Amino acid sequence: MGTWDDLIKVLITANPQSIISFLFPGAQFLENLNTELRNPIRNVVADSLLKVVWMGLEIIVHIEFQRHAEEVMPRRVWEYNVLSTYVYQRPTLSFVVYFVEEANIPEPIYTIKVGERAIHAFSYQNVKVWELAGTQLKQPGVEGLLPLLPLTKGGATYDVVEDMIAQLLATGKQDLLPIGYSFAALVLKDIREKNWLQWRFSLMESILEQSWAYQEMVSRGFNKGFNKGFNKGFDEGHNKGFDEGHNKGFDEALVRFVRKRFPKQVELADLVCAQVTDMAVLSTTFDSLIEANSEEEVQEILTKALQSVS
C-alpha cells in the first residue's frame, strides 16, 4: 500500500488514543504491540495492534488499512485476529479502514462450514472513510484524526483543507499539518488543485519543518518531494499564481483562515486584502495570524497591516 500505509502509521503514532476513541468509544489506549505474529506455520505482520483497557478488561484492537478492496480480506483478518488472540492471550477486535471509495469491498464476515454447520464464525468492522461526515472527526477526543478530513464525504475541496488547517491549529495539533498536507495531496489531483495546495502549505513552511511528523515522514523516505513541493508552490504562488493571480489566492486563504478561527474580524481581513498589495506585508501578516490566540490579537495584527499602506 506504500504511501497510504506509511501516512496512517505516522498518524496513529502521533495520537493512538484518537483512533481508539473513534473506533472503540470508552476504551483507553495502553500501548502499541509488536505487529509481527509468529506461529509454527508462517509469520504474518498486521498493520496495527494496540492494547487498550475497556471496563477493566484488557483487549487488543487490530486495525488493517486498505487502499484497495481485496476478496481475500475476510480470511486474512480472521487469521490475524486468531493469531493476535493466541499470541497476546487477550480478546481481539478487528477493524479494516478503507480510504477511497471502491466497489466490491467484501462483507466483514468470515465463516467456515462443514455442511450446514458453522465451525468458525468471525466478524469484524469495515470503516469507509469516504462515507464519514467531517463532523465525526471534529468531535472532542479524536482531534488526532483531523488530517483525514480531506478524505471524508465531500472533503476534497479548498474549504475543507482550510477547515482542517484551522482545526489543527485551534486544537494545538499543528504538528500534524504535514500529514494533513499529504492526505490532501492524495485527493486534490488536477494541476490547479496541486498548485493551490503546494502554495497554501508553503505559507506555513516554518511550522511544518519544525513538526516531528514532518521529520518522521522525511525519515521514512516516502515524502522526498516535500521541500521541493513547498518551494514550487511558493514560487508559483508568487510568480505564476493560480485562478486570477497570486494576490487573489493569498487573499482568499487569509480571509478563510480568519473566518474559521476569528469570525468577528472578517470585515477587517477583507479590508486588508483590498488595500494591502505588498506580498511581504501579507506574508508577515499571515504568519502572525497563525500564531494568534484571540480576537484582540488578530485585530491588532490586521490593523498594523492596514497602517503599512497609510
What is the distance between the alpha carbons of residues 283 and 202, in angstroms, rounded to a whole number? 11
**Residue 166: which residues within 8 A CB-CB, separation 6 or more?**
257, 260, 261
What is the distance between the alpha carbons of residues 148 and 18, in angstroms, rounded to a whole number? 12
Q: How far is the CA of 247 from the CAs of 159, 238, 241, 258, in angstroms?
A: 18, 8, 8, 16
Q: What is the pLDDT of residues 117-172, one digit of tens each?
A: 989 899 999 999 999 999 999 999 999 999 999 999 999 999 999 999 989 988 88
Q: How confident is the model at residue 244 (pLDDT cuts 50, 70, 90)?
A: very low
Share of the chain above pLDDT 90, in %: 42
Neighbours of 99 (CB within 10 A): 22
**Which residue shows C-alpha cell 509469520?**
43
- Nearest Cα to 288, choosing from 310, 252, 262? 262
Q: Are the C-beta atoms of residues 220 and 182 closer than 8 Å to each other?
A: no
Statement: residue 237 has pLDDT above 60: no
Cα–chain center distance at 59: 26
Q: Are the C-beta atoms of residues 275 and 309 closer than 8 Å to each other?
A: yes
DSSP tally for the chain: helices H, then strands E: 13, 9
Statement: residue 94 has pLDDT above 60: yes
Mean pLDDT of 218-228: 51
Which domains occur in the chain, in start order? 3-130 (3.40.1350), 147-239 (no CATH), 243-310 (no CATH)
What is the distance between the alpha carbons of residues 95 and 158, in angstroms, rounded to a whole number? 30
Tell me if residue 40 falls in helix, strand or coil: coil
Mean pLDDT of 261-274: 87
For 158, the grid coordinates are 479548498
**Which residue shows C-alpha cell 499470541?**
87
Statement: residue 35 has pLDDT above 80: yes
* pTM score, whole prediction: 0.72
Q: What is the pLDDT of residues 48-57, one digit of tens each?
A: 999 999 999 9
Q: Are the C-beta atoms of residues 19 and 12 closer than 8 Å to each other?
A: yes
What are the respective helix, strand and coil percentages of the chain, to the nearest 5?
Answer: 55, 15, 25
